[in-house]
Structure 1
Amino acid sequence: MKPTFPLLAVSFFAADIQAGAGPFLGIYLQAQGWTPDTIGTVLTLGAIVGMLVTAPAGALVDALRQRRAVVVGASVLTIMAACVIWFSQGFWPITLSQIATAIAGSVMGPALTGLTLGMAGQKNFDRQFGRNQVANHAGNIAAAVLSGAAGWWLGLPYVFALCALFGVACIVSVMLIPARAVHRHYARGLAQDDDQDTSKIHADSMRMLLRNRSLLLLAIVLAAFSLGNSAMLPLYSLAVAAAHRGGASQITAANIVISQIVMLVAAIYASRLIRRFGFWWVLLATFVTLPARALTAAWLASPWGIVPVQIFDGLGSGLQAVAIPALVVHLLHGSGRVNLGQGAVLGIEAAGGCLSPLLGGWLANRYGYPVAFVALGSLAIVSLAVWIAQGDVIRRDCDTRRDTLDKLTDLDATALFR
């Protein structure tokens, strides 16, 4: 069995760990009498903690030799959070569960990046990570369908029991990856074989992240994009559920399933598009999807509006899920700080994302859902302005790095793609 098979299984079951039960949690808490702004506050508190641990999580993945243990730890946190929601609906127990969920999701990103880079190498990273994302989106579809069915037949609390089951399956899957299949130096972005003397191998200073202008620009545009985008799914689920009175869990599941199907298709073609058009053009296209999604959500607050709203989400998020980690690897490979860089970028992006539910919930509660959608979508202007204005810098850095990367040693991973 190829070692990438259990890696795909980890990506599949990690879907519920990374995404969490946020949309379903919002519907569940709304049924318990919680208001949109209170729900947004709880989600924001958890997301703030997740944001703060993302960069340290990347540094931890760089430092540890047993990177599979990080996945196990994140899965355990998810199981614990699901148990807390099952037994209590108080403000602080729910808040603590969301903190645990946010930490688990933040840790899982750099962990999967490190495992993939250590198995596939830099040149084939985008191909394998694209496959991982296909499995991840398939896992999200399965989780959403099962969650919708569980919410309909058994009640919303069973949605959280399903999260715990996915956490257990993720632990089993990651333990099936042979430890020797993950090259510890390549996994952190050091172009060195494992059998070399480790005492002579040193990673670059952490300050090099601050000197990488393209990396900083990427983080800024993602923060603005995430500030507008992150609250869209839970808010749109709440808006449709409030307008049509019923089938809340099914509406949320449909939102997730449609976007995940589109994300799955986008992930299949992401690496091909990156190699043909380059990182800059692919990410530019994703930033355009946010205002289109926001205007559609404001105009069509109905079950039928789910389709176009979530298609835009799927296109943008599906391409970003492959292009962003691949771009960070492209910019940092050879430094030994790839996973720290991934965590730093994701952490700054999460800074926007953790404020999004608070901002969106406040706007929806004060001015209504349509105004909230338009306001959130307008934040894409910041991302587009910075990305276009600094396009020459980013494309020049990418072109320069290609020559550098060609001179570095890399893993021979051809057997993984036959």
Structure 2
Amino acid sequence: MPYRLSLDWVNFLLADLRGGLGPYVNVFLLTDAGWDQGTIGALLTASGLIGIAFHPPLGAFIDATRAKRALIVGGAWALALMGVAIATFPTLAVVFVADISMALLGGVFGPTVVAITLGIFGAREIAAQLGRNAAFDRFGNLFIAATAGIVGTYFGQRGVFYMLPLFAMLTTIAVLSIPSHGIDHALARGLDETDDGRARPYAWRHLFTERPFVLLALGTALFHFANAPMLALASQKLALEAKGFESAVTSAAIVVAQLTTIPMAYLVMRSNPVGRKVLLLLAFAAVPLRGILFAFVADPYWVIGFQILDGIGSGLFDVLLPLVLYGAVRGSGRYNMARGLIGTIQGIGGASSYALAGSIVVWAGYSVAFAVLSGIASAAFLLMLVAMPEIVPRAPVGERMTDP
């Protein structure tokens, strides 16, 4: 299939860009810039809530635009500049603006890559290709985690952020190797392959009448509320126990999780015979178990080992979400907008939990924070078990509600 190798490199290199941020920002602000956990949590919550509010319009724009390659190239360079700004000027104003920018880009990279994938491969190959995308994304995360561990240990934590412009340049080359005419933009927005040029998308409000869509949105909000702060808290806990090796232990925790996500990506490639609800339940069950283990075990080696559950939980869920969502809203022509709506809903859950988790750590310690997050994750698992139907690729709909 043409452009498959180019798409592999895009996923690998975008993982390298994102890998330079995330948990490294938390650890850098805590151990190098001298910020406390409560301030870090409040800032991440505020910037995250502002950024994710724009996910639905960004999704609608991705549906409509034919400049999908430009979105990725521009976003890659913006992310690189934000990372360098945080490392060079770690002031409240700079970090706040950078965090908002990163939150906005979170609504661009993933959906745009999936849209391009749909536009190239169509519905018949989407499950296998999304799994392949995820595998290369995970390999990229492993590469940057190992590289960041070495660079951070020998050249300081700021060195991790100064690598980002190089990855932005390589990402630009990979993206532009996919020609614009190789992307079918009708398929990329979730219209059926049998539709002709007169097909029109649903009215966006109709998405909220789709029961699987609504349940998926609620479940992912709870999932991310419980899961989002766990790696940040675990990285902080490890960094405080391993002075002078902050980047190395953070990278070790990420490597363990990413090694586990690779077989999870291949499992999603076989999701049709296994059943997508079974895989969803597996992902949702891993989060409360991980929280309980983090709450009661303090040994750094065990904490790093428990990151296997992060690979099973968030690793499996992240790959499965666009596939399950596509089955729920196929033919609507609003696929990326639906992705943006769920991104906003789950982002509110994830971003708001940083403030809660950081405050609990300050008041009662890490163990209590992990126990509370585990309880919330258990509620999300029960919701999926009881209410979520099996999701299979839906047949094309015959009659559409269209925008006036």
Same fold (TM over 0.5): yes
Q: SS where residue 123 of structure 1 aligns?
A: helix
- Taking the aligned partners of 1:385 and 1:262, their CA distance within structure 2 comes to 24
Letter in 2 for 1:11: N
1:318 Cα deviation after fit:
2.1
Look up the match of 2:29.
29
Identify the match of residue 370 of structure 1 among 364, 367, 370. Answer: 367
1:378 Cα deviation after fit:
1.0
Look up the match of 1:266.
264
Identify the match of residue 327 of structure 1 among 300, 303, 324. Answer: 324
Alpha-carbon distance change, 106 to 35 in structure 1, aligned in 2, over 3 angstroms: same
Q: Does 1:98 align with 2:99?
A: yes
What are the superposed Cα offsets for residues 384-405 of structure 1, whole Å, 9 maximum, x if unpaired?
22212213xx23xx35x54x24
Look up the match of 1:119.
120
- Taking the aligned partners of 1:60 and 1:19, their CA distance within structure 2 comes to 26
1:162 Cα deviation after fit:
1.9
Look up the match of 1:412.
none
Are the counterparts in 1 of residues 132 and 269 from structure 2 also a CA contact under 8 Å?
no
Structure 2: tracts of 5 or more residues without a match: 400-404
- Taking the aligned partners of 1:323 and 1:28, their CA distance within structure 2 comes to 31
Q: SS where residue 336 of structure 1 aligns?
A: coil
1:95 Cα deviation after fit:
1.1
Q: SS where residue 215 of structure 1 aligns?
A: helix
Identify the match of residue 216 of structure 1 among 209, 214, 218. Answer: 214
Alpha-carbon distance change, 13 to 46 in structure 1, aligned in 2, over 3 angstroms: farther
Look up the match of 2:13.
13
1:304 Cα deviation after fit:
0.7
What are the superposed Cα offsets for residues 103-162 of structure 1, whole Å, 9 maximum, x if unpaired?
112211110110011111112111101000000011111111111111111111111112
Q: Within 5 Å, which residues of 2 pair with 1:10-409?
A: 10-18=10-18, 21-31=21-31, 32-192=33-193, 198=197, 200-272=198-270, 274-391=271-388, 394-395=389-390, 398=391, 402=394, 404-405=395-396
1:19 Cα deviation after fit:
5.2
- Taking the aligned partners of 2:174 and 2:303, their CA distance within structure 1 comes to 33
Moved more, 247-256 or 102-111: 102-111
Letter in 1 for 2:232: P
Q: SS where residue 306 of structure 2 aligns?
A: helix
- Taking the aligned partners of 1:235 and 1:41, their CA distance within structure 2 comes to 14
Question: TM-score, structure 2 length as denominator?
Answer: 0.94
- Taking the aligned partners of 1:81 and 1:21, their CA distance within structure 2 comes to 9
Alpha-carbon distance change, 98 to 57 in structure 1, aligned in 2, over 3 angstroms: same
1:303 Cα deviation after fit:
2.1
Are the counterparts in 2 of residues 75 and 167 from structure 1 also a CA contact under 8 Å?
yes
What are the superposed Cα offsets for residues 149-186 of structure 1, whole Å, 9 maximum, x if unpaired?
11111111111112332222222211111112111111
Aligned length: 398
Letter in 2 for 1:345: I
1:192 Cα deviation after fit:
4.8
- Taking the aligned partners of 1:77 and 1:28, their CA distance within structure 2 comes to 20
Aligned CA RMSD, in angstroms, stands at: 1.9
Q: SS where residue 254 of structure 1 aligns?
A: helix
- Taking the aligned partners of 2:264 and 2:374, their CA distance within structure 1 comes to 21
Are the counterparts in 1 of residues 19 and 145 from structure 2 also a CA contact under 8 Å?
no
1:289 Cα deviation after fit:
0.4
Letter in 1 for 2:348: A
- Taking the aligned partners of 1:345 and 1:75, their CA distance within structure 2 comes to 23
Alpha-carbon distance change, 352 to 378 in structure 1, aligned in 2, over 3 angstroms: same
- Taking the aligned partners of 1:232 and 1:349, their CA distance within structure 2 comes to 15
Q: SS where residue 230 of structure 1 aligns?
A: helix
Moved more, 49-58 or 180-189: 49-58
Are the counterparts in 2 of residues 126 and 322 from structure 1 also a CA contact under 8 Å?
no
Look up the match of 1:413.
none
Letter in 1 for 2:283: T
Are the counterparts in 2 of residues 74 and 107 from structure 1 also a CA contact under 8 Å?
yes
Alpha-carbon distance change, 211 to 407 in structure 1, aligned in 2, over 3 angstroms: closer
Question: TM-score, structure 1 length as denominator?
Answer: 0.91
Are the counterparts in 2 of residues 17 and 104 from structure 1 also a CA contact under 8 Å?
no
- Taking the aligned partners of 1:82 and 1:388, their CA distance within structure 2 comes to 40
Are the counterparts in 1 of residues 204 and 334 from structure 2 also a CA contact under 8 Å?
yes
Identity %: 31
1:191 Cα deviation after fit:
2.1
